[in-house]
Amino acid sequence: MMNLFKIYRPVWQFLLVFFGTYGVFSSLYFYYLDYWRARQVVDPITNLVGQQVQWTLKYLGFNGVVTPWAGTEDLVISVMNQPVARLVEGCNSLSVMILFAAFVIAIPQKIARSLLFLLFGFMALYTINILRIVLISMGIYARPSWTTILHDLVFPGIIYGTVLLLWIIWIWQYKSKVNSHG
């Protein structure tokens, strides 16, 4: 049994660091959400996402408005004066960034390289998230019958596809580093 532990030590180490990091960051995120829920207001990051979605819709020529939904911690996205979607805390991309970060931290590389990749990944995920919310809002406005497909398939496919792509890039960098050191 101990031999198996030694053989698969890198796998156990990865799993321990991944789930440990994910657990700590997720706990901090839930604490952050509880803080704002107790005040019955939209959390600042979700609010910022809403403002940027609204700005992007307007930039693209759509009369887009994102407003608080009375009595909730959610926002309502309206396109051309028609409500099309709710923007909830799960739409702010932080939970996806936590998943991304846990993986990057669990694959050991130099601290500077890891921090730069995390920063790049966070910026990419945040930007992709804004664009996906805008595109899906425009899609629901144009084709309301596509709401389920857009939200349940396209919506997660875009963001998790981006996470997967970033993870693949990170593994390639790790593999290149390992191969270059013999």
**What are the tens digits of pLDDT across the range 46-70?**
999 999 999 999 999 999 999 998 8
Structure token digits, residue 35? 């803080």
Percent of the chain with pLDDT over 70: 95
In the predicted structure, residue 175 carries a pLDDT above the cut 90 = no
**Confidence (pTM):** 0.89
Per-residue CA distances from 18 to 5, 23, 53, 92 (Å): 17, 8, 31, 22
Query: 160-163: long-range contacts at Cβ-Cβ below 8 A with a sequence spacing of 24 or more?
Result: 160/96, 162/124, 162/125, 162/128, 163/96, 163/99, 163/100, 163/125
Of 89, 87, 45, give the one whose Cα is nearest residue 69.
87
The model's pLDDT over 71-93, given as tens digits with 9 standing for 90+, comes to 788 999 999 999 999 999 889 99
What's the CA gap between 97 and 92, in Å, rounded?
Answer: 10
pLDDT for position 179 = 65
Residue 62 pLDDT: 93
CA distance 179 to 182: 5
